[in-house]
Amino acid sequence: MTREGVPFGSASLHLASGVRFLHEEETVFDGMIQGWSAQMKGGRGLKQSSVSGTVGRVRAFREFCGEWPWRWSAAMFDEWMVELVTRGLVLSTRRGYQQAIRSFCTYLCSPHYGWVAECEERFGEHPVQVSHEENTLRHLVDLEGSPGRRPLTRRELQMLLDRVDREVDLRLEQKRKGATLAYRDATMFKVLYGWGLRANEMCHLDTTDLLRTPHAPQFAGMGIVQVRMGKSSSGGAPKRRGVATVHQWAVDALQDYLDQVRPLMIKSTRPTNAIFVTERGTRMKPRDVSERFAYYRDELKLDDVLTPHALRHSYATHLAEDGVDPVFIKEQLGHAYQSTTAIYTGVSSDFKNKMMLDAVRRVVSGSREGES
């Protein structure tokens, strides 16, 4: 709401009521865009970059159909979708265009902002919703992610963790420099996988983000890892979530690092609460994590499509293979949609075969019971 109690985006705030304009249609459309932008930024708190991108999609549709919003129809929208498919836009991009048009039409049709009455008075027509469930892509597609993004197999994961652990041992045995950095790397990879975190989320972890929970006293002060810099959506602020601990070995690894290694890396002249720091004592960045991961990945001759994010995919996949409730996995990852979690889970052929055999046994068993 504005200070006068009028909602952000109201027609009365962005268009002089009762005044006729030289280029009336264009002026009203510009007023709609200004009002919608104000509603997204002031009312919904979206970032300017997100607002600009969304507005650009609406302008693109208007240019495509050559009509003003109060004359838009579902048929025009359908034709535009065909055009986007012809241009080769991927599903997620096309959905972004659809969501932009739906959001804009919802704003125009809302009685809170007065655009319906404004259009009826000026043009004898009013905007309608042209983006419906029947003509939009649902967020239910199994695999929309890049085919190159995949989880590590359990064997690959074990190879990686064994290699970084061996690096620590080698440096200690040979009394070479860098043992603390190697230990940090090993712990980072274990935390990424152990809690299914994004690299940026892990880099922003502070010691105060490790929380105790009475539901899992065995994990001491790490029953919950509080993520403060989760991936934002639609230009909003970073999302927070609490990730429940499920792996005791991950707790042991992180606790040992905090007790034995991190104190050696914190500079007295540059104190910080960051869990993972560079050799200079500054907070690690996702780029640093990617470089360290790539070093070990290439040395092991693993698939070069694998990135630190593959550890997050592996976390989701392995939980799914272990029979963990999909809803729990979704909440752990901080996803809004179950289909997004499905992108992360690429179960192995062995697991698929086991599921098939279990299904066959249940069907056969049911048939026999029916015959008896």
Active-site annotation, residues:
198, 231, 309, 312, 335, 344
Three-class secondary structure of residue 267 per DSSP: strand
Which residue in 251, 253, 252, 229 sits closest to 239, CA to CA? Answer: 229
Residues 6+ apart with CB under 8 A from 23: none
> Kind and range of the H or E element at 340?
helix 338-344
Q: Are 235 and 46 in contact (CB under 8 A)?
A: yes
For 70-138, give the DSSP string: GG--HHHHHHHHHHHHHTT--HHHHHHHHHHHHHHHHHHH-TTT-HHHHHHHHHS--------GGGS--
Q: What is the DSSP letter of 277?
A: B
Burial class (CB in 10 A: 0-12, 13-18, 19+), 319: buried
First to last CA, the chain: 69
